[in-house]
Amino acid sequence: MLPDWLKYDLHRRWERFAERSGSAGLRGLVNEHPLAVAILTAGSILLLVVIAVVQLLPDKPTPVRVLDREWYYDLNTGRLFVAGTGLTPPIEAPSGPLATGAPAGVRACVLAYADDPNESERFIGFLETTAAGGSAVRPSAQPAYRNAATEWARGKLLRRVADKTWVPADSKQGQSILNEAFAPNAQGERPCYCQPE
């Protein structure tokens, strides 16, 4: 509560301000134009409701680009090529089959540390194929749990481009290849998958 002397002083100052401004003060203005005050109040409330609704609306979802093509590697030529997504490697390669008659195309995990990489900034992290019959040789010690990584690794074989031997993705050697491919660079940045143009 304000002391009486302060209330009196504030009231006197308000009256002087109203006299100087040439109006009867805010109270007098409200008494003279009640409809204008009601319209102004309704407009303010409407504006507040519109702002609240706009703020509460969810943002437009970011459009998701569905991959319809993936990188593949031609084992005969050592070159990348693009084919449809969801194919189970090995697939037919542009150069034809291997000397054994098997298809020469395997999936390539093409990575880069740059956001919008050019061809020289991209690198092949690892190659991926499936074992004969669609299932890789499983290591003897099976994990008791299943997660997305173990499900992804089931039946897949991996190798580096320079390697000659394929290893199961869920083996220690396979995990080593994955860790090496996704290792951070000197600035601590991890590589990201590069989608084919």
Q: How many residues does the chain have?
A: 197
Higher pLDDT, 99 or 2: 99
pLDDT tens for each residue of 80-127: 999 988 888 989 999 999 998 999 999 999 999 988 888 888 999 999
CA atoms within 13 A on the CB side of 186: 0
Tell me if 93 sits within 8 A of 72, measured CB to CB.
yes
Q: What is the DSSP secondary-structure string of 131-186?
A: -GGG-PPPPSS--SS--HHHHHHTTEEEE-TT--S-EETTSHHHHHHHHHHT---T
Peptide bond into 34 cis (omega under 30): no
pLDDT category, 139, cuts 50, 70, 90?
very low
Residue 31 CA to residue 27 CA, distance in Å, equals: 6
- Token digits for 49? 């409701």
- Contacts with 127 (C-beta within 8 Å, 6 or more apart), sequence order: 73, 106, 107, 108, 109, 158, 159, 160, 161
Helical spans, DSSP H, in 33-138: 34-56
b/e map of 6-37 (b: 16 or more CB within 10 Å)? eeeeeeeeeeeebeeeeeeeeeeeeeeeeeee
Question: Average per-residue pLDDT in the chain?
Answer: 83
The predicted pLDDT at position 75 comes to 94
Angle at 196 between CA 159 and CA 163, to 5 degrees: 15
The predicted pLDDT at position 146 comes to 57
The predicted pLDDT at position 42 comes to 92
Residue 124 CA to residue 131 CA, distance in Å, equals: 21
